[in-house]
Amino acid sequence: MRSLLYTIGSLLILLLSHDGGFTGASDAEHTFRATDIHTHRHRRNHGHRRGEEFEYSALSCRAYSASLDEFGAVGDGVTSNTAAFRDAVSQLSRFADYGGSLLFVPAGRWLTGSFNLTSHFTLFLHRDAVLLASQEESDYEVIEPLPSYGRGRDTDGGRFISLLFGSNLTDVVITGENGTIDGQGEPWWGKFKRGELKYTRPYLIEIMHSDGIQISNLTFLNSPSWHIHPVYSSNIVIQGLTILAPVTVPNTDGINPDSCTNTRIEDCHIVSGDDCIAVKSGWDQYGINYGMPTKQLLIRRLTCISPDSAVIALGSEMSGGIEDVRAEDIVAINSESGIRIKTAIGRGGYVKDVYVRGMTMQTMKYVFWMTGSYGSHPDEHYDPNALPVIQNINYQDMVAENVTMPAQLAGITGDQFTGICISNVTITLSKKPKKVLWNCTDVSGYTSGVTPEPCQLLPEKQPGTVVPCNFPESSIPIDEVKLQRCYSRRRLM
């Protein structure tokens, strides 16, 4: 409990430290500055420098290393270092079969456009290193839409490649001593709002068709759109991240595992204008045809502030399926909803075997929210007979205070959301709650030990006795993966 209170206090100090805060932003949205972060973020399990040697935790250690400044990079915040990053990764890639390599980013402000990662590779940021994403569209290649989406999320056409990108890779680590990657997204947000973009905005990190990914001990700021997007990938550890974006800017999701298997997200602190974590698997007929679910997902020790979105969202792009999601020890502050399932007619797919417990919430619009009419579609060719299956959804051991409405649960007529279990949940209402506290349609299941009293479609299972939901006893494979203690030093090649 003490660590949770410390986390909440740190985030509130961080929010209050910004002139004008988040609310009431004009077209020039308030953005975070890297200098704002170093004063307030708490220390996590980061590397420790010893002269030219440093140590860090990683899935894999490396035999070779080099520093970015050895490739002609200049950390003045003005000089473009795109060529230096690309050259460094290219040169280090030759060690992939000989113990792998590490690129050390020293203290400085390193302006760069997009660059690709390579296999058996570590990108390591010094605590005072800031990667500044270029704001020039020309620094981002336009690539094809994801096959499970059929189009870009912002526009009908392609999409700008992410700042850090990789495809068909093995064993990739992006880590550091809490260094910063700043997306400098403000110009992109303005162009999107004004409808001036021809292509979908870039993400900060997107890694596709890859296995063995670690993203840890870093701060991410102000992405043009989503911050972290692993897609079509497996065996992923995301750990110890701080992700900050203005709460007035849409689509700045924190972490979006998409058609991924065996993923662990833990010890992350996110402030976002959209969902802190959004679990996805493709959009309508494109996701159905691609057929790659997100499964075996573990989320724990997450702190989230998202006034207009969810702490954890499942969907709405869930057409490839979402299953075996486990979340625990979650803190939500001033957020629209705790757990939200978003889907619609035409999505197909499924969301099943979801287990959430140990959640503490303060100042919420909804605690539980299920939406069967989240109606955006990639095009007019979706199948109106493709109905989603929502079943075996379990929520347990939760406390929420200052809540406007405990639950808004709306299934689909003729396609009921089934197997909902809510157990041992105490909700304290705000001073002006909704008249209808539980609004339930086309759902079924049971509750046990829940206050205020739930809707009739979720009756008390055994009055007077708290009956727990059925949580799995076995672990998922990624929970057994341990990081190694690695040592490296600047080494000229």
Residues that are catalytic: 274
- Rounded Cα distance between 239 and 52, Å, is 25
Instruction: Tell me the helix, strand and coil percentages in the chain, rounded to 5.
Output: 15, 45, 40
First CA to last CA distance, the chain: 48
Helix (H, G, I), strand (E, B) or coil at 321: coil
Please report which helix (H) or strand (E) contains residue 236, including its range. Answer: strand 234-239
Starting at the edge strand found earlier in the chain, the sheet holding 48-50 runs 48-50, 53-58, 484-489
Residues 125/176, Cβ–Cβ less than 8 Å:
yes
Token couple for 79: 């000089």
Residue spans of beta strands (DSSP E) within 319-471: 322-342, 350-371, 389-410, 417-429, 438-441, 443-451
Number of Cβ atoms within 10 Å of the Cβ of 237? 23
Distance of CA 290 to the CA centre of its chain: 22
